[in-house]
Structure 1
Amino acid sequence: MELSDYFRILRQRGWLMILLAVLTAGATFGYSKMQTPVYESTLRLLVSPSRTDFGQAQAAKVLMRGYTQWMYSGLRAQTVINVLQLDMTPGQLMGNTAVAADDSSFIITMEVANTDPDLANDIARTWGDLLIQWQEANNAQLRKEDRIGIEPVDNPQVGLKSPRTNINTAAGFIFGALLGLILIFLLEWIESGIMRRTEDVERYLEVPVVGTIPNQ
């Protein structure tokens, strides 16, 4: 097939591609709007050694791994549930929570997902306070120069986690357009053996058409 044939096919059947793209985009948009919004609160905690020497910094990096394990536990989850009077189990709460440590920046990041954005913030803030209070109790038993402080970088920041309506709708439009394009060329392939135009006859037989029979 020549390039002009592709343009001809798209001119004749392009409406099918547009129709499928609009339909799939509309269906995806409707499905996204039907979903219950889930919000994610992010809390960042800064781990700060009292001294800037290499040994203290290395000790803080090692301790950060322990801090994340201490935070992400059923005991801490149950404490948060008790404080906020949540109607869920520790396992359910932990399933909506993630904790990670970046020892290059001395930052511990906690992410909490919930259908209520304010509650997501409250959970993250309460959970972070548990670690801060626990570390303050540990520091009370250490010399001042050996202490490692933990403090929030900022208040918990919340944002929409799902559904991503705009992204989903755009993906649905692209998928529908690709599906329509495949369908267009599938139909063209099925009908390729049917010659309707003089150009089709000339291309198939490789001889010029000298006349046609008019439609009755």
Structure 2
Amino acid sequence: MEETISLKDIYQTIRKRLLIIVFITIVAVAISGVVSYFVLTPVYQSSTQILVNQEKSNKNGPDYNQVQTNVQMVNTYSVIIKSPAILSKVINNLNLNTTVEGLTNKLTINSEQESQVFNVTVQDPDPAMAVKIANNIADTFKDEIPSIMNINNVSVLSKAELKENPSPVKPNPMLNMAIALVVGLMTGVGLAFLLEYLDNTLKTEQDIENFLELPVLGTIPKMTANEEKDPSYRRKAV
């Protein structure tokens, strides 16, 4: 016989296992909060902008072809700025205790579509160091690109600055706790239905009816300890 689950069955299952669901959810949120606030290291972010501008020309106004060439060169510059030719010099300039690969993992290059400007973003546990690295990368790239590409059309549009009260970009405790809340609820509900599925004991008249597929004709009331000792109650029962 094919079994079906109604909304009423789902509601009753959740209601019966509500304490388990709530407990798992609270534990998940608490663990996420503790890890986010006390275990994970805060990471700060700093950015600088680099402009790929057109070379000086005797023409009045911008040269459209030159602008398009500069836009296309942004992708090439994004690769060069992550190369050992640039990052190794940055490491030496700042005496960083890291490798080129390690510094690359902290570095993100973003550029707007059809734009001559690209952003150099650095993430580091030390906000002041993130600012220093970002600015040094931009300055080193500007100084080295003429010898690498035999072209001089790069300028630093804006430098990274250290804010008075910098805020970490990660971890995001509230987001982590919100995710833990959803995961905890899903886990609790899933466990509730699993326990309900594995529980094959008969506890109510409805369970007996469903198991035997027969109606209940009568029930025997449960007697308390005082009622069992009371002779008058036993006479009434007889």
TM-score, normalised relative to structure 1: 0.82
Give the aligned partner of residue 34 of structure 2.
Answer: 30
Q: How does 1:37-48 map to 2 (within 5 A)?
A: 37-48=42-53
SS of 1:178's partner is helix
**Tell me, what secondary structure is at the counterpart of 2:168?**
strand
Superposition deviation, residue 124 in structure 1:
0.3
Match of 1:52 among 51, 62, 65: 62
Q: Equivalent residue for 1:211?
A: 218
Which protein is richer in strand relative to its size? 1
Distance 1:199 1:10 in 2: 18
Q: Does 1:163 align with 2:167?
A: no
Counterpart of 1:123 (choices 127, 133, 139) is 133
% same residue: 25
Listed one character per residue, the Cα deviations across residues 60-116 of structure 1 (whole Å, up to 9, x for unaligned) are 123323322332121322222232232333332223223344451212221212110
What are the equivalent positions in structure 2 for 1:155-194 lying under 5 Å apart?
Answer: 155=160, 160-191=168-199, 193-194=200-201
Q: Compared with structure 1, are the counterparts of its residues 21 and 52 closer, same or farther at alpha carbon in structure 2 (3 Å cutoff)?
A: same
Secondary structure at the counterpart of residue 161 of structure 1: coil
Could you tell me which residue of structure 1 aligns to residue 109 of structure 2? 99
Q: Residue 19 of structure 2 aligns with which residue?
A: 15
Change (3 A) 1:212 1:161: same
Which residue identity is paired with 1:15? L
Structure 2 CA distance, aligned partners of 1:61 and 1:11? 61
Instruction: Structure 1: give runs of 5+ residues left out of the alignment.
Output: none
Unpaired runs of 5+ residues, structure 2, are 56-60, 224-238
Secondary structure of the 1:196 match is coil
Larger RCO: 1 or 2 (CA < 8 Å, sep 6+): 1
Q: CA deviation at 1:134?
A: 4.4
Q: Which has the larger radius of gyration?
A: 2
Would you say the 8 A contact 1:124–1:156 is kept in 2?
no
Aligned to 2:231: none
Larger deviation, residues 77-86 vs 15-24: 77-86
Q: Report the aligned-residue RMSD.
A: 2.6
Aligned partner of 1:5 in structure 2 is 9
Q: Secondary structure at the match of 2:133?
A: helix
* Contact residue 86 and residue 141 of structure 2 kept, 8 A: no
2:120 corresponds to which residue?
A: 110
